[in-house]
Amino acid sequence: MRVAIVTGAASGIGKHISLLLSSQDVLVVAVDINDIDIEKVEKVQSDVTKDIERIIESVVMEHQRLDYIFNNAAITFIGEVEELSMEDWNRIIELNLGAVIKGSLAAYRVMKKQGFGHIINISSIGGLTPFPGLTAYNTTKHAVVGFSTTLREEARLYGVRVSVVCPGLVNTSILDEKIKRICPIKFMEPMKASQKILKGIKKNKRIIIFPFHARILLFLDRYAPRLLGLWKRGLFDKYMEMKEDD
């Protein structure tokens, strides 16, 4: 039986990836710092910034293989960049980037030895195009893209696959409800997003980008960056106005 580790599995994309994999006869080890309400998976309530390497070692010892790791856990902060303290920066970097690197490298050592496996790191459309008000988040997500695409080039020599996922707007708890109210783009549901991810993994895509609006944003970022920037800034200004009114 194939074995997968999914971090950030208590909600959103992580939860739905776990559900889909478990329905496909994959043994899923679901990891989150919060309670995990998923049936037919092994549950580990833990802080991945501290424990992901130990968790991987334990899973491999018990099951003698690791087919997939989904480094999905992340947090964000929305606001002007000067509002973030260094403590905020360190916390975001430690989870969004540090845990991804730790999880990827620990899994890579196992997969390289066994000669197969797939590392999937969840970035964001914000890892490919900038969004005001999300400086720290976007910084880590850009880094995840660079790390993953580079590791892929090394890993292919040993039969190990690496993909990075850059979804657009998905209806998960990581985004403030105010963003969902002011943004004219329809948010994709996490189950549909998870289906897109697994489809991209099956094709061994280097960068998995969806839905269609994400591709439009990338097109505009390349060919009309000033116009797109004005639109993004307008949304952010609306968000800040709503935040001040609360």
150 CB burial (10 A radius; 0-12, 13-18, 19+): exposed
User: In the chain, which residue ranges form alpha helices assigned H by DSSP?
Assistant: 12-23, 48-63, 86-93, 99-114, 135-155, 177-182, 190-202, 212-223, 225-245
Contact 74, 63 (CB under 8 A): no
Q: How far apart are CA 11 and CA 167, in angstroms?
A: 16
Selection from 30, 26, 23 nearest residue 7 by Cα: 30
Q: Which of 68, 137, 158, 239 is catalytic?
A: 137
Structure tokens at 246: 């609360």
Q: How far apart are CA 177 and CA 86, in angstroms?
A: 25
Q: In this structure, is the dihedral angle defined by the CA atoms of residues 220, 223, 228 and 229, taken in order, positive or negative?
A: positive
For residue 137, indicate whether it is catalytic.
yes
Q: How far apart are CA 58 and CA 31, in angstroms?
A: 13
Contact 228, 171 (CB under 8 A): no
Q: How far apart are CA 1 and CA 219, in angstroms?
A: 41
Residues carrying an active site annotation: 137
